[in-house]
Amino acid sequence: MKDLNLMIKDRIIEMAWEDRTPFEAIAYQFGFTEKQVIALMRKELKRSSFKLWRKRVNSGVSQKHLHKRNPEISRFKSNLQRIITNNKISKKS
């Protein structure tokens, strides 16, 4: 984790912050487990921001785990989002 590219690190944090992006999507795209994402968030965020994020993820409001999601949702991305495969990040328009 120490030698992560800044752009990749920012993208993982952005995905972790979004309630609708499950940990499984982060694992699929970047190979990071939930524990590794939590460690990255703890290291990179301010303490208060990290606490708020953890509280939100654990409260049930967040859909960070696939088993908490609506069973009809079987995809990781929006239909409007460009295709993202493995570690390749699409450019924002």
pLDDT of residue 63: 63
- The torsion defined by the Cα of 13, 14, 16 and 19, in degrees rounded to 10, comes to 160
68 vs 55 pLDDT, higher one: 55
Quick one: tokens of 42?
Answer: 């703890």
Asked if pLDDT for residue 79 goes beyond 60, the answer is no
* Most confident of the ranges 33-42, 68-77, 78-87: 33-42
pLDDT digits (tens, 9 = 90+) for 8-58: 999 999 999 988 888 888 999 999 999 999 999 999 999 999 999 998 888
pLDDT of residue 51: 94
